[in-house]
Structures are given as structure tokens and as C-alpha cells.
């Protein structure tokens, strides 16, 4: 059904996205991550955008009560009674474990433009709309997100949201807003590159960075044993050291608790120097806790990470599944993948591109040319790995 989220389907989707973080799917702690997913990421092709005008898209999947509540909400909004309109939009969004996305997208816009509330909640509601299988509703959600990003003075996020809206539905207003800017659906910049790696000296430095040692005043051998672990995936059982055998890079997993664990990535960058990243990995749908999962690879003097954000969120005004198993519900965006390139020696971020899972884009890092090569989704070009965060169309 268009514009409807049922909790069973949501949990299945979240479980699929977070499979690598589940205790039953342990990573090979002594091995470096597989290079293929990190170097090249391909997404499903977007549906052909229908030719629609600027009219508000219909909500064919709403039941009678929700449709009536949505009509009341729109009238109250038009009359300037925004608080009452908010209550009706929430009522129109459904009950129990069913969520109607159309009222949530319109509520997100109301919060953004009239209620003066924190725009983080508006962003959550609009992100949920990007997961709709209704092309017009998804396009509306992206356009409203563009308005939010414009208000934050984030011109690149605004441009990418406009391009994504047009990829789902052609619209004269949106096209005019985009103007002469690129129609690439990728967002170039630091906003979604959430990894914060660093470069440290020696195994004691690695151990301290992974929060496994309180001080670097420790032998290299002991620091290596303490830093290089394989999680037991049980709060009751200790993690075991694998010692980071071979030449690296290495993955270390430890401190499992409540369906999440710490994942460290360690790559040698020179004599007694190491590139180190530490992330907490693992989603918990019962509490609507999402996850950003990193996968790293080393490519010469560079470290490349692919970040998968499942965009799982709590729905305002509804209980979480843990609190009310029969009625609790979460919402989720379409999901975002970010490919980021760091200089291994300095851990400086050099390039980053983010994409919605609804778009088709291929990303490949070319270490020789020092650039990310993009194709598909209006992104036929390059992003130089020089810290400029520019998209250069292919000539």
C-alpha cells in the first residue's frame, strides 16, 4: 500500500540492514574488511518520474477516519490554527502499528514553517516520507527537506534534496528552484561523513584510542593484545584477543551490550603509525534505535569508508515497540549510504558523497587519480580527493 508503514515490514527491513551487527553474524575480527563493498556502491534504479503538476499528491491508502482527520488538519492549517492542525495530522497518521506517511510529511512541513519547533523533529518526519513507494509523496518529502536545509544555510544539502525530488517527480517549481545547479542526486560534503578517525603512534596509542588502555605507558605487546579483540557477543562472556596477526589492516570488536558493540579498525600507515577508527555498531528496533555501520578498506595512502545509515527513528506521539509490543512503532527513512575518503597519514577527510537508497549511483575510488568517480543519477563526473568537496562533471 502506498504511504503506509506496517511495523512487521519495518522490522524486517531494519533487520536486513543491520544484519552485520547481529550476534549471529560475527565479523572476522582478524581480517580486514572486504574491499568490494567499500570501493564500489550501486543502488537500485529510481522509478521513472511521472509528469505531475504542483498539486498536493493524493493519499489513496488512508482509511475513512484518517482521511477525514487529514481534511480537518488541512483546513485548520489554512485557518492558522496550527496547534489544532498538528493534533489532527497526528490523528490522520494512523494508530497502533500502522503509519500513514502523507500526514507525517505534511506535519513535518507545518512544524518547519509554522510551529517554530526544533527542526530535528520535522527532519525525522520528512525523512520518513522519503521511504514512501509513492513517487509523488517521496518527491514532496525531498522538496520539503530542501526547504529545511535552505533554512540551515546548507546549500549543498538543499541542492541534493531538490535533485532527488526531481528524480522522483518532474515539477516546474522544483526545477526553477534548482536553477543552473547540478542535478546530481549525490550530496557532496562532510554532513553525512560521521566517522572521526585519527592517526596515532604505536600500539599503546592504538589501545588508548580504542579506549582499551587508560594510558600509553604500556608495552607494545600488551597494548596489541588489549586492542585486538573478537567480541563474544555476550555481556556475560569476556572478549578474546586475536592479537592482530599479519600485516593488517585489522578489525577489533568488543564490549557487546544491548544489541550493539564497539568496532575498531586499525591500519598501518608507516613505521609505528596507525590509522584508527572507533564506532558503536548495532541497531535495536525495539527502542527505535538506528545504526550507522562503517566498512573500511585501505587503498595505498588512503582509507575509504562506506557508511550505511538505516535512518530508524521514533515516531513522535507513538510508543516504542519495547514499551507497547502490540502498539509500538518506529519510522524509517529510505536509508543513506556515504562513501568517504581519508588520508591515512593525517586522518584528514578528503572527499565524501552521500546517496539515498532510492537513487542509482555507482561510486568508485581511484587512488591513482586521487578522486571519487561517480556515474548514474545525474552524477556523471568526479569528486577530487583534495578536501575541496567539489563535484566536477565529466567533460
335-386 pLDDT, tens digit per residue, is 999 999 999 999 999 999 999 998 878 999 999 999 999 999 999 999 999 9
What is the bridge-based pairing of β-strands 362-366 and 40-42?
Answer: antiparallel
Domain count along the chain: 1
* Residue 385 located in a structural domain: yes
Q: Give the Cα separation of 150 and 128 in Å (integer).
A: 19
Cα-based angle 198, 388, 267 (whole degrees, multiple of 5): 25
Does any domain span residue 275? yes
* Model pLDDT for residues 297-310, shown as the tens digit of each residue: 999 999 999 999 99
Structural domain containing residue 349 = 32-44+191-393
Residue 113: CB atoms within 10 A of its CB come to 15
d(CA 269, CA 304): 14
Predicted model pTM: 0.84
Ramachandran region of residue 248, left (φ > 0), alpha (ψ -120 to 50) or beta?
Answer: left
Which pLDDT score is estimated for 195? 97
Q: Which residues pair with 371 in a beta bridge?
A: 366, 384
Burial class (CB in 10 A: 0-12, 13-18, 19+), 181: middle
> Is 95 a member of any domain?
no
CB 153 within 8 A of CB 345: no
DSSP 285: G
Res 46: pLDDT: 29
**Is 126 within the bounds of a domain?**
no
The whole-angstrom separation of Cα 209 and Cα 197 is 9
Distances (CA, A) of 338 to 61, 124, 277, 368, 389: 33, 18, 16, 21, 13
Q: Which of 6, 7, 105 is nearest to 59 (CA)?
A: 105
Summarised one tens digit per residue, pLDDT across range 65-111 is: 999 999 999 999 999 999 999 999 999 999 999 999 999 999 999 99
In-domain check, residue 108: no
Q: What is the DSSP string of 239-275?
A: -EE----SS--EEEEEEEETTEEEEEEEEEEETTEEE
Q: How far is CA 190 from CA 5, 187, 290, in A?
A: 31, 9, 20
Structure confidence at residue 215 (pLDDT) = 94
Per-residue pLDDT at 117: 64
Q: What is the dihedral of CA 164, 170, 172, 177, to 10 degrees?
A: 10
What is each CA distance from 126 to 56, 106, 146, 152, 265, in whole angstroms?
Answer: 15, 8, 10, 15, 33
Structure confidence at residue 84 (pLDDT):
96
For residue 127, is it within any domain? no
Contact by Cβ (8 Å): 241, 229: yes
Point out the residues of the chain with pLDDT beneath 70.
Answer: 1-60, 116-117
Is 242 a domain residue? yes
What pLDDT does residue 45 have? 28
Asked if residue 227 belongs to a domain, the reply is: yes
Question: What Å distances lie between residue 67 and 72, 111, 309, 310, CA to CA?
Answer: 9, 20, 32, 29
At residue 34, the pLDDT reads: 34
Amino acid at each position: 500500500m502506498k504511504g503506509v508503514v506496517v511495523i512487521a515490514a519495518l522490522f524486517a527491513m531494519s533487520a536486513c540492514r543491520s544484519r552485520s551487527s547481529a550476534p549471529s553474524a560475527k565479523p572476522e575480527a582478524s581480517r580486514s574488511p572486504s574491499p568490494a563493498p567499500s570501493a564500489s556502491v550501486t543502488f537500485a534504479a529510481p522509478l521513472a518520474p511521472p509528469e505531475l503538476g504542483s498539486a498536493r499528491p493524493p493519499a489513496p491508502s488512508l482509511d475513512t477516519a484518517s482521511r477525514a482527520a487529514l481534511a480537518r488538519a488541512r483546513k485548520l492549517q489554512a485557518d492558522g490554527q496550527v496547534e489544532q492542525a498538528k493534533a489532527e495530522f497526528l490523528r490522520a497518521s494512523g494508530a497502533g502499528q500502522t503509519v500513514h506517511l502523507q500526514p507525517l510529511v505534511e506535519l513535518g512541513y507545518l512544524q518547519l514553517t509554522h510551529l517554530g519547533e526544533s527542526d530535528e523533529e520535522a527532519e525525522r518526519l520528512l525523512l520518513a516520507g522519503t521511504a514512501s513507494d509513492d513517487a509523488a509523496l517521496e518527491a514532496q518529502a525531498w522538496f520539503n527537506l530542501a526547504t529545511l536545509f535552505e533554512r540551515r544555510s546548507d546549500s549543498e544539502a538543499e541542492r541534493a534534496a531538490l535533485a532527488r525530488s526531481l528524480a522522483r517527480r518532474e515539477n516546474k517549481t522544483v526545477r526553477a528552484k534548482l536553477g543552473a545547479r547540478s542535478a546530481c542526486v549525490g550530496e557532496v560534503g562532510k554532513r553525512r561523513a560521521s566517522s572521526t578517525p585519527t592517526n596515532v603512534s604505536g600500539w599503546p596509542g592504538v589501545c588508548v584510542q580504542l579506549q582499551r588502555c587508560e594510558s600509553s605507558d604500556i608495552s607494545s605487546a600488551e597494548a596489541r593484545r588489549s586492542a585486538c579483540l573478537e567480541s563474544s557477543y555476550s555481556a556475560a562472556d569476556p572478549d578474546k584477543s586475536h592479537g592482530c596477526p599479519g600485516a593488517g589492516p585489522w578489525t577489533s570488536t568488543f564490549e557487546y551490550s544491548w544489541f550493539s558493540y564497539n568496532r575498531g579498525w586499525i591500519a598501518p600507515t608507516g613505521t609505528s603509525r596507525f590509522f584508527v577508527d572507533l564506532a558503536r555498531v548495532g541497531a535495536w528496533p525495539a527502542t527505535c534505535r538506528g545504526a550507522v555501520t562503517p566498512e573500511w578498506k585501505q587503498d595505498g595512502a588512503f582509507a575509504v569508508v562506506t557508511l550505511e545509515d538505516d535512518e530508524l527513528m521514533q515516531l513522535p506521539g507513538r510508543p516504542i515497540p519495547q514499551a507497547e509490543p502490540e502498539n509500538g512503532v518506529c519510522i524509517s527513512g529510505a536509508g543513506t549510504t556515504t562513501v568517504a575518503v581519508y588520508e591515512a597519514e593525517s586522518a584528514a577527510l578528503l572527499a565524501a558523497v552521500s546517496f539515498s537508497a532510492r537513487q542509482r549511483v555507482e561510486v568508485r575510488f581511484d587512488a591513482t587519480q586521487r578522486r571519487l568517480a561517480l556515474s548514474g543519477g545525474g552524477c556523471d563526473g568526479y569528486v577530487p580527493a583534495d578536501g575541496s568537496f567539489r563535484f566536477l562533471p565529466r567533460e
